[in-house]
Amino acid sequence: MSAVAEKAVTTTDESVTTDGFHLLIDALKLNDIDTIFGLPGIPITDLTRMAQVEGMRVISFRHEQHAGNAAAAAGYLTQKPGICLTVSAPGFLNGLTALANATVNCFPMILISGSSEREIVDLAQGDYEEMDQLNAAKPFCKAAFRVLHAQDIGIGVARAIRSALSGRPGGVYLDLPAKLFSQTMEAAAGRNSLVKVIDAAPRQIPAPEAVKRALDVLKGAKRPLILLGKGASYAQADTEIRALIEKTGIPYLPMSMAKGLLPDTHAQSASAARSYVLAEADVVVLVGARLNWLLSHGKGKTWGQDKGAKKFIQIDIAPTEIDSNVPIAAPLIGDIGSCVSALLAGVGSSWAKPDTQWTGAIAERKDKNLTKMAETLAKTPSPMNFHSALAVVRDIVKANPEAIVVNEGANTLDFARSIVDMYQPRKRLDSGTWGIMGIGMGFAVGAAVITGKPVIAIEGDSAFGFSGMEVETICRYNLPVCVVVFNNNGIYKGTDVNPRGGDVAPTVFVKNARYDMMMQAFGGVGAHATTADELRKAMLEAVASGKPTLINAVIDETAGTESGRITSLNPQSKANKK
């Protein structure tokens, strides 16, 4: 440890002083932030050492992108901004992908990066890792700030926290030039410069006329539907949302990260009749959900456009989100808890529940689809396919509803969304709005560190490759993470062939790879499963032991389909279907 890192303060005859290192640490601690995810190096190595000495938990990764994803997951789960700390230039750029993803997904996160000095950067004089990081970050986050003087650290941290949490949550960048850390000031003045953020995300009460308009539209519905997005899950208004759904009797459809707000087995869940309810509903209440690509932008055959126009009621804290794809008949602007509570207050005892013709039609299709799915899941082909393997995961999660499921891939993601039921809120993390790959191990580490709960990471073999080295991080911190790699030898499937010979096809990996040995190499538990029984045994042992575990689940390499269920997003695949 350096001499700088050994001292919290410097004592002289005149005064006691503090420095930029400790002011930053104290500013974070003052705001109840006790964990940093990052990767040490110039100029922030001493900061990580001092933070640990001062009682903060510092989780060090092998790559900054995964540290950033861990911070984003922490922000989503806690409603406090997760902190990612990186070195300058390349380290900052590695973290920038996670920052952008956090912003798109509305996860509160602060990327803090050391940087080169302004006077050198602005003259392009060739400093070590020289880069204008502040301007590079601005297009990819909610806000970006630079602190040049130690006395401004408290304000800088406060502004970053408030920006990350207020309105639509998201990513914030905080730029800290290297020489800021060694600046000193009187300790008393330093303490007085720190800011405790008060009410960073204040309630925004919807206008009474907007509530009335929404209720009037809903009263006129013959086939209403409530659609829950991950914003509804982030809001932690679980009791109010459940009360609204059950009091109105309206069927609901959860997006993947909203699964578990009510148990997926709830009688009003329409997940097993998704296509039917999206096409047939005449009024849709959007709660923390956006009409983006995951919902076909609210248009086309998915929404039964040929059957007449729908009316949408949209709850959102940002008025600019309204009418982004289709007209919104009743915008309800405010925080989700306040808006749902206002709707609930307007639903009196005389509220007419949906006609049984609508709910009965949904129930009929649910029963038919669930029966068909049960028959598929009961099969035990050899080698395993996605359904037989996920049937095991489904059972393990049902027996351990407190476990957090992390999920990414193509087929692995798409099938798991519909097969694995969730029973508690905020227990599912996946690739979200961007559909980005590489979130797996970062999300898994972040969730395990913040909650202390077991984590089950269901990974496609391609998706795992983006962050696989972080299994060493999982082992280093002895985290209760069970990683299951669905190994089918390639992207989508491992059967593509290069028609010209020579190199393998771009989508094909090394055949029969043993990912489990990676975990063993770092002292964790590795298991190789070729049957459903072997997978079940390995997962049961992993969850029971809490030991870092990676299971290499061998899947039939012919079982996958290109882009999962969204083949049409690949232009050539779309052309081939014509």
Which pLDDT score, from 0 to 100, does residue 119 have? 85
Pairing of strands 143-146, 16-19: unpaired
Answer yes or no: is pLDDT of 471 > 70.
Answer: yes
Give the separation between CA 411 and CA 413, rounded to whole angstroms.
Answer: 5
Which pLDDT score, from 0 to 100, does residue 560 have? 85
Answer yes or no: is pLDDT of 6 > 70.
Answer: no
pTM: 0.94
Residue 454 preceded by cis peptide, ω within 30 = no
Give the separation between CA 186 and CA 179, rounded to whole angstroms.
Answer: 17
Residue 43 preceded by cis peptide, ω within 30 = yes
**What amino acid occupies position 415?**
F
Query: Which has the closest alpha carbon to 41: 117, 114, 109?
Result: 114
Topology, domain 3-193: Rossmann fold (3.40.50)
How many other C-beta atoms are found inside a 10 Å radius of the C-beta of residue 469? 15
Burial 93-128 (b: 16+ CB within 10 A, else e): bbbbbbbbbbbbbbbbbbbbbbbbeeeebeeeeebe
> What is the percentage of the chain residues whose pLDDT exceeds 70?
95
Q: Where are the beta strands (DSSP E) in 116-251?
A: 143-146, 171-177, 184-186, 224-228
CB within 8 A of 374, min separation 6: which ones? none
Question: Per residue in 308-353, pLDDT tens?
Answer: 789 999 999 999 999 999 999 999 999 999 999 999 999 988 899 9
The mean pLDDT value for 452-475 works out to 97
The single-letter DSSP state of residue 570 is: S
How many other C-beta atoms are found inside a 10 Å radius of the C-beta of residue 200? 18
Q: Where in the chain is the domain with CATH 3.40.50.970?
A: 3-193, 379-577
Give the separation between CA 428 and CA 434, rounded to whole angstroms.
Answer: 16
> What is the percentage of the chain residues whose pLDDT exceeds 90?
89
Answer yes or no: is pLDDT of 448 > 60.
Answer: yes
Give the separation between CA 277 and CA 244, rounded to whole angstroms.
Answer: 19
The mean pLDDT value for 167-193 works out to 97
Q: At what angle do helices 45-53 and 20-30 cross, to 10 degrees?
A: 50
Question: Per residue in 278-308, pLDDT tens?
Answer: 999 999 999 999 999 999 999 999 999 877 7
Question: Per residue in 39-62, pLDDT tens?
Answer: 999 889 999 999 999 999 999 999
Which pLDDT score, from 0 to 100, does residue 570 have? 60
Q: Which of 8-12, 101-105, 406-410 has the lowest mean pLDDT?
A: 8-12
Q: Where are the beta strands (DSSP E) in 455-562?
A: 455-460, 481-487, 525-529, 549-554
φ, ψ of residue 428 in degrees (nearest 5): -130, 125
What value, to the nearest 5°, has the Cα angle with vertex 123 and ends 117 and 125?
Answer: 75
The mean pLDDT value for 177-203 works out to 97
Give the separation between CA 115 and CA 33, rounded to whole angstroms.
Answer: 22
Question: Per residue in 473-532, pLDDT tens?
Answer: 999 999 999 999 999 999 999 999 999 999 999 999 999 999 999 999 999 999 999 999
Q: In what order do the strands lie in the sheet with 224-228?
A: 252-254, 224-228, 283-287, 311-316, 330-333
Residue 550, strand partner residues: 483, 526
DSSP 62-84: SSHHHHHHHHHHHHHHHSS-EEE
Give the separation between CA 157 and CA 135, rounded to whole angstroms.
Answer: 18
Q: At what angle do helices 64-78 and 440-451 cross, to 10 degrees?
A: 50
Where does the pLDDT of residue 569 fall: very low under 50, low under 70, confident under 90, or very high at 90 and above?
low
How many other C-beta atoms are found inside a 10 Å radius of the C-beta of residue 511? 11
φ, ψ of residue 123 in degrees (nearest 5): -95, 5
173: tokens are 């960048």
Q: Which CATH architecture has domain 208-364?
A: 3-Layer(aba) Sandwich (3.40)
Give the separation between CA 489 and CA 558, rounded to whole angstroms.
Answer: 10
How many other C-beta atoms are found inside a 10 Å radius of the C-beta of residue 27? 24
Topology, domain 379-577: Rossmann fold (3.40.50)
Question: Per residue in 348-375, pLDDT tens?
Answer: 888 999 999 999 999 999 999 999 999 9
238: tokens are 């679980």
Q: Where are the beta strands (DSSP E) in 216-355?
A: 224-228, 252-254, 283-287, 311-316, 330-333
Q: Please, is 286 exposed, middle or buried when counting C-beta atoms within 10 Å of its C-beta (0-12, 13-18, 19+)?
A: buried
Under 8 Å between Cβ of 495 and 501 = no
What rounded mean pLDDT belongs to the chain?
Answer: 94
Name residue, tokens 């989503």: 76
Q: Is 549 in a helix, a strand, or coil?
A: strand
Name residue, tokens 């502004």: 159
The mean pLDDT value for 202-220 works out to 97
Give the separation between CA 476 and CA 458, rounded to whole angstroms.
Answer: 21
